[in-house]
Structure 1
Amino acid sequence: MSAPVVDVWGPVAPGTRSSYPPAPEPHDEWPLPGGTAWVYYSPLNRRQLIRPVILSDGFSSGSSNLDQLWHGLEENGDYRFISELHAAGRDVIILGYDDRTASITANAETAIDCIRRANAERVGQAKLAVGGFSMGGLVTRYALAKMEQDPSLPDHETSVYLSYDTPHNGAWLPISIQAFAHFTTDEWGDTPGVGPVLRQFSGLLNSPAAKQMARWHIEKVGDTPEQAPERVAFLRALEEVGGWPRNLRTIGVANGVDTGAGNGVKAGATAVRCDGETLHDTWLKTQAKGDQVVARLQKTGGEPVSVRTGGLPEIDGAPGGLFTVPSPAGDTGSFGLAALLMALTGNEVDPDVITTSCFIPSISAVAAGDINDPKALYQPVTPDHSALDAFACASRNEGHTTMTEELGAWIVNEIVAAG
């Protein structure tokens, strides 16, 4: 059985590179310990690094893919982010990693090396703008904060830190989906064709970076949803460097609204159900308050497994960036991905699938509240709630890290205003 390769916390996996047109050849390429930086000088700067903007890649499987990154910044929305930065006289440095599932603190060392290289090659006195998309915002947040706290490191010489739909206060992937991923991997992970897809899905959820970002995580079916030890250790490490870089302006955007209006996904609803060759009466539900069976998982001919949660908020319908991932049938969401995997394992899926859910709540993306707080999730977000100096939220709940003129232009204007 042949199967596509899909990713959880990023656009697509290795093996799909050919689906993207090649990115323009970078003007310079910096090999870094743990990664690579691709440099695109502004046409206004005559092949000199004068006003650098470092943009960090986020979570995905394997190593960073320049074609994929360029497409996401320039072609995958209604705003050409790199072109607009170039028009404003900013040189763009795209920062990628050898392993995007590695610990955030490990990849932050690569970000520190990139910042040092940019400062060493910069002509003039203009300070840097540094940040990233999704997990990339956490990588650079930690890197800049560490450079301020560690006396062995040089000044980061940065005036603006930026984040784009970054899970500052945690990310959400339904526990029912996590359990389904681990269950199917346990049962069919060695099956030719579909097995590698299942193992990759489960493996991504259990990778160091995913554990650090997920507000609730289970490593295997039957675990109690909670913060993974890796997340607890990362939050402690972040606190040890001050939590945030202080000697600059911090800005961020959310792909969700700031009005408190949810995305329409109902709590406790059956999101996806299937029956067939390998699974019998298997279903996943959206998250509701209180004690709840969020999934029924049954191998055909086997005993059913119930997955329970308790004390979690109604977060699938919360305002925020939505889980989206490309598939052969077109972009889908979190439960849509589960439906795809159900079909791949030989089952008939009920047609009324709730395809997506909240992924990065707005209050997480703009660091404005605890996503474990049901009231905070659905309250309007105001500047006094946020740990950022300034933020912007989308006018609708849209796909995670979608590049829009609304958000992209706001960031460009903030960078330009900083000088």
Structure 2
Amino acid sequence: MPAGRAEQVAAVLPQGVLFATPPRTTGEEPRTPQTEWSLTSAWPHRGRSATGTAAVHYGAGHDRLTRPMIFADGFGHGPSDMRGLWHRLNASYPPHRHRLLDQLLAQGIDVVLLGYGARHTHLQANAGVAAACVRRAISERAGDTPLIVGGVGMGGLITRYALAEMEHRGEDHQTETYLSYDTPHNGAWIPLILQQLAYFSAALAPGGPGQADLIKSPAAQQLLWAWVESGRYSGPVATASPLRVEFIGDLRRVGWFPARPRKLGVANGAADGTGRNVPPDAPVFEWNALDGLVGVTVRTQPDRGTNRHVGGMRAVPMWASKSYTSDVAPFDGAPGGTMPSYGMLADKLGVPIDTRYRSACFVPSVSAVALQYDPLEWPVDLYTDITALSPEQSQLDDFQCDAHNSEHGEVTATLAEWILGQLGK
């Protein structure tokens, strides 16, 4: 290898943890909570106990916890950004610029925002933190009004498991309503070529935190329907991580969903099967640096088939590879809550990208509304018209999809107004 080549390559590759969403801000200071709780997991997982924090905001007319709603943080790396979580859930939404958390507080609902010491650790471990939060809310509550418990994205999956595990252990969680917000009940999606690019960057530009730290984390392995273990991995992607297989087994062991609460959910994706204008097997961007010695080719996920090309990476003379997939559905353009996954990487590389390719599906609508199908095999059409299905085909008691495919976790009028109506019943 020419002297200094490794350092040259490292200098032009993206830095920092890839696919970690940037902190949310609204230009306004978040509401100061009346109190904060430091939490330790109600049970250990793999011999270790997770930790977390809850920010408690009293509803209108309350001077102590009276009608608690625990709402958990979602997918990310490192500790929860509690200010960012408030900004994300309380962002004003058109047309009247209302704010969901402010509206809940005005209804007399005490909002308890739940964060984790390590969002990227095992879901079972952070479910223990959620269970500890439920216990604390019950002990602090004035009166006996039942709890509302849920979360955004991964937070909804963690609280789903926590409530089911508490029931399995014979513990009364005193929860009347479970609410998930664009939760990947059957799995989420990050393009496979982008996962491999994270490993590629981490291998050639080492340092901490690494570009692949979120992708290779336990949470990502358990959350993603399709996951790869390295930049050169080739093989099945739905069962590549034993951690996902184990988590699904644990969910089944505790009853799959909690049985006692009314189970509600909203999806940022459309319900009528309308996807986004992201065609399968299309070029997204090409990036070259150091006079072509380093380069990346990125394509959208093809529509199944055998050994379909999705891109490649090179860093002469250290690395050269092309990536292919077999029998993987065209997730990128599917109806669902979106993430600017292609756009975030293109921006880090300083390469132009067509606007329609910036965002890809992250949580398919069929996953967010918990349709009944095998979460490993996924024998379901991503473009299913959910409006044409009978209610019994969802494992939720009721759900609402957005009017269009919006960003994952975004608060929109369609979803906020439905939640306010359901919780006000």
AA in 2 matched with 1:272: F
Q: Does 1:149 align with 2:168?
A: yes
Residue aligning to 1:336: 343
Residue aligning to 1:210: 220
Q: Secondary structure at the match of 2:84?
A: helix
Residue aligning to 1:290: 305
Shift of 1:300: 4.2
Q: Does 1:165 align with 2:182?
A: yes
Matches within 5 A, 1:267-346: 267-277=280-290, 280-288=294-302, 289-291=304-306, 292-301=308-317, 304-323=320-339, 333-343=340-350
Range 298-307 or range 36-45, more displaced: 298-307
Q: Does 1:119 align with 2:138?
A: yes
Shift of 1:18: 8.7
Q: Secondary structure at the match of 2:144?
A: coil
Residue aligning to 1:399: 407
AA in 1 matched with 2:77: S
Residue aligning to 2:385: 380
Q: Secondary structure at the match of 2:298?
A: strand
Normalised TM-score (structure 2): 0.86
Shift of 1:64: 1.2
AA in 1 matched with 2:100: F
Q: Indicate if the aligned counterparts of 1:268 and 1:287 stay in contact, CA closer than 8 A.
A: yes
Gaps of 5+ in 2: 1-10, 41-50
Q: Indicate if the aligned counterparts of 1:39 and 1:91 stay in contact, CA closer than 8 A.
A: yes
Q: Secondary structure at the match of 2:310?
A: strand
Compute the RMSD of aligned alpha carbons. Answer: 2.2
Q: Which of 95, 107, 116 does residue 114 from structure 2 map onto?
A: 95
Counterpart Cα distance in 2 of 1:351 and 1:93: 39
Q: Secondary structure at the match of 2:89?
A: helix
Q: Indicate if the aligned counterparts of 1:20 and 1:71 stay in contact, CA closer than 8 A.
A: no
Alignment deviations for residues 309-359 of structure 1 (CA, whole Å, 9 cap, x no partner): 101111111100001xxxxxxxxx11112212333xxxxx35546211111
Q: Which of 167, 191, 197 does residue 174 from structure 1 map onto?
A: 191
Shift of 1:67: 1.0
Shift of 1:77: 4.1
AA in 2 matched with 1:220: S
Q: Secondary structure at the match of 1:336?
A: helix
AA in 2 matched with 1:367: A
Alignment deviations for residues 44-80 of structure 1 (CA, whole Å, 9 cap, x no partner): 22x1211111100112111112210110111264441
Shift of 1:271: 1.2
AA in 2 matched with 1:162: L
Shift of 1:373: 4.6
Counterpart Cα distance in 1 of 2:105 and 2:81: 21
Residues 143, 303 of structure 1: alpha-carbon distance in 2 compared, 3 angstrom cutoff: closer
Residue aligning to 1:110: 129
AA in 2 matched with 1:359: F
Q: Secondary structure at the match of 1:393?
A: strand
Shift of 1:204: 0.3
Range 108-117 or range 271-280, more displaced: 271-280
Residue aligning to 2:270: 257
Q: Indicate if the aligned counterparts of 1:294 and 1:307 stay in contact, CA closer than 8 A.
A: yes
AA in 2 matched with 1:362: S
Matches within 5 A, 1:126-137: 126-137=145-156
Shift of 1:279: 5.3
Counterpart Cα distance in 1 of 2:277 and 2:352: 20
Q: Does 1:30 align with 2:37?
A: yes
Alignment deviations for residues 8-52 of structure 1 (CA, whole Å, 9 cap, x no partner): 2x532xxx689975422210111111111111001222x121111
Counterpart Cα distance in 2 of 1:307 and 1:184: 15
Identity of aligned residues (%): 37
Q: Which of 226, 232, 236 does residue 238 from structure 2 map onto?
A: 226
Counterpart Cα distance in 1 of 2:275 and 2:334: 5
Aligned pair count? 389
Q: Indicate if the aligned counterparts of 2:25 and 2:88 stay in contact, CA closer than 8 A.
A: no
Q: Secondary structure at the match of 1:401?
A: coil
Q: Secondary structure at the match of 2:332?
A: coil
Counterpart Cα distance in 2 of 1:299 and 1:319: 35
Q: Secondary structure at the match of 1:123?
A: coil
